[in-house]
A and B are shown apart, each in its own frame.
Chain A
Amino acid sequence: MFNNPYKFSLLLIFSLATTSVILAQTGDISPKRKQAIDSLALEKVRDLSKYISIIGNKKTAFSEATRVMDRAEELFAPDSEMGVSSLNSKEVKYYKVRKYFEHLIALNYDRVTIQWYDIHYISDLERQPDGRYVGVVTIYQRFEGVSDDGLKYKDTTKKDITIYVERKKTQVSGRIIEFWDVLLGDIRVTETSK
């Protein structure tokens, strides 16, 4: 699933670049192009899932977890936050993405298992006033934490992840190529079951 993500992203950059000018003029995204953008968004979401699993794993060395947190942060637009609520409380607690990751490392369990359901839902893309497109990808995570004294905590959470799709430029062999890139934004985390 995560094999060679760079090659995949580069391929999408080129495939998305070809129609970027038309997109800028009409503001519409064709079904085919939408599917390509969806794939790129899913790839980023899967990268995030992978990073969260590594960060949450108690066997991951702190230095490695820090490096992975840096990588994970690069997936996000600046100022992105996680809004977390539980079944017990309707109140949403807000964390900066980095703080959320640090919180994950600091969880007081001896063993942590983070698994992802093989299910996702991708919304339509809507255009914002600034011309960028925004969408939401929904995924589900199962968390299990066990202490050495046998205490166990488990929950399933729904993660609604904002994706921003925007036009960027890069230089390849002296040529300026425009392409559509995906950045992750705010994430709403809702506990759905224990």
Chain B
Amino acid sequence: MLRYLFAIALLVMTSPLVAQIVGDLDDESKLYAQSKQVNQFFRRFNGEEDEKGNRYYPADRQYQSTRLRKNYLGILFDEGNKGISPALKTEFVKDVLEKGESSILNFHGGNWFSEVNAIFTMNGVSQRITLYMELEKDHLGYKWVISKVHADTFDPYFKRDTTKVGRFLHPLSHELDFMNLRKAFERSDSISQFTAKRFTPDHLSVFLYEVKKGNLKFKSVEAVKFHFFQLDGWYFELSQFIRPGYNTGWLISNLVKLSSDADKKLLLAYLYQ
């Protein structure tokens, strides 16, 4: 809280407040403290703007300065999440500051993506579908693209129990021009038993198919968050918090120390579920 009060005091002293249209300083100071855009989270994390949100450029003395970054890093965590221990936060901040330039977040640097929880209707029934989005270079600029999709509603179609022998096409089926395929396709609920072990379902393909067939219709976006793997040895999640107080806007909502590539793969597999 002291940090916020200090930041507010600084703002009051430095802001000209020429036309304070809504005359509520308390409210306004909270809005200043809020990380209003993901863009502002990047700038604060990197130490690239002043307390009022004015951009610093490479020629400015304060640009990416350790002192500025240290001040901002302290207010970029969701303080409501007691799951992130103070010790882990301290270690993260220390590591980021020590790494200096190599710990600067890069908008175009890859290794971060968005998780968009959206509502669609499938034949009239609301369904929650997760879209994983990433930035992709294209022609003169960049665009967000859908890299993966997960829909619980698609899961039953791919379910199969590999522990049981189950149904199969015997190894000499080829000699009969696979005539037994007729029996395999007779029961559509067990068709996934005839696929290769290495097959992993691709919800994005099904999603595109259903949308193009007109069965799946977009309704609304429910929540958006971001997953960052850009900093060596760390993962963090960024979420938006709309609530009273000073600790609002886009904040780090989860933090994990990664000790190996295997950790990263495991976490990615979990995030894509």
Interface of A toward B, CB cutoff 8 Å: 1, 27, 31, 34, 83, 87, 90-94, 115-119, 121-124, 126-132, 136, 138, 140, 142, 156, 158, 160, 190-193
A-B contacts counted at CB < 8 A amount to 88
For the A-B complex with A119-B28, A123-B39 known, give 19 more contacts whose Cβ atoms are closer than 8 Å: A1-B19, A27-B140, A87-B242, A90-B223, A91-B220, A91-B222, A94-B220, A116-B21, A121-B36, A123-B37, A126-B107, A126-B141, A127-B141, A128-B143, A129-B142, A130-B139, A136-B37, A156-B27, A160-B37
> Does B92 count as interface, using CB distance less than 8 angstroms?
no
> Does B151 count as interface, using CB distance less than 8 angstroms?
no
Q: Are B37 and A117 in contact (CB under 8 A)?
A: no
- The chain B residue with its CB closest to the CB of A92 is B220
Considering the complex of A and B, which 3 residue pairs feature the smallest CB-CB distances, nearest first? A127-B141, A123-B39, A129-B139
Which of the residues A34, A93, A142 comes within 8 Å of B22, measured between beta carbons?
Answer: A142
Chain B 106-146 against A: per-residue CB contact (8 Å), 1 yes, 0 no?
Answer: 01000000000001000000000000000000111111000
- List, in ascending order, chain B residues with CB within 8 A of A92's CB: 220-222
> Does B236 count as interface, using CB distance less than 8 angstroms?
no
Given known pairs A92-B220, A117-B27, the reply for A136 and B39 (CB within 8 Å) is yes
> Does B31 count as interface, using CB distance less than 8 angstroms?
yes
Given known pairs A121-B37, A127-B141, A129-B143, the reply for A193 and B19 (CB within 8 Å) is no
Which of the residues B27, B140, B244 comes within 8 Å of A131, measured between beta carbons?
Answer: B140
CA–CA, A41 and B53, complex, Å = 16
Given known pairs A90-B222, A193-B244, the reply for A119 and B142 (CB within 8 Å) is no
Looking at chain A's contact residues, is the secondary structure mostly helix, strand, loop, or mixed? Answer: strand
CA–CA, A119 and B26, complex, Å = 13
The 18 sampled A-B contact pairs (Cβ below 8 Å) are A1-B19, A31-B55, A31-B57, A90-B223, A91-B119, A91-B222, A117-B28, A118-B20, A118-B21, A118-B28, A121-B53, A126-B141, A126-B142, A128-B143, A129-B138, A130-B141, A131-B139, A138-B36
> Does B17 count as interface, using CB distance less than 8 angstroms?
yes
- List, in ascending order, chain A residues with CB within 8 A of B36's CB: 121, 138, 158
- List, in ascending order, chain A residues with CB within 8 A of B22's CB: 115-118, 140, 142
Chain B 30-69 against A: per-residue CB contact (8 Å), 1 yes, 0 no?
Answer: 0110001101100100000000010101010000000000
Taking the nearest CB of chain B, how far is it from the CB of A1, in angstroms? 6
Q: Are B242 and A115 in contact (CB under 8 A)?
A: no
CA–CA, A142 and B24, complex, Å = 11
> Does B266 count as interface, using CB distance less than 8 angstroms?
no
> Does B176 count as interface, using CB distance less than 8 angstroms?
no
> Does B18 count as interface, using CB distance less than 8 angstroms?
yes
Which parts of B214-242 form the interface with A (CB within 8 Å)? 219-223, 242
- List, in ascending order, chain A residues with CB within 8 A of B139's CB: 129-131
Chain B 68-99 against A: per-residue CB contact (8 Å), 1 yes, 0 no?
Answer: 00000000000000000000000000000000
Taking the nearest CB of chain A, how far is it from the CB of B107, in angstroms? 8
- The chain A residue with its CB closest to the CB of B35 is A121
- List, in ascending order, chain A residues with CB within 8 A of B143's CB: 128-129
CA–CA, A131 and B143, complex, Å = 11
- The chain B residue with its CB closest to the CB of A119 is B31
Which of the residues A27, A117, A129, A192 comes within 8 Å of B242, measured between beta carbons?
Answer: A192
CA–CA, A190 and B107, complex, Å = 24
CA–CA, A34 and B49, complex, Å = 15
CA–CA, A136 and B38, complex, Å = 10
Taking the nearest CB of chain A, how far is it from the CB of B36, in angstroms? 5
- List, in ascending order, chain A residues with CB within 8 A of B27's CB: 117, 156
Given known pairs A90-B222, A118-B20, the reply for A129 and B31 (CB within 8 Å) is no
Q: Are B39 and A118 in contact (CB under 8 A)?
A: no
Taking the nearest CB of chain A, how far is it from the CB of B194, in angstroms? 41
Q: Are B141 and A128 in contact (CB under 8 A)?
A: yes
Which of the residues A90, A129, A138, A142 comes within 8 Å of B141, measured between beta carbons?
Answer: A129
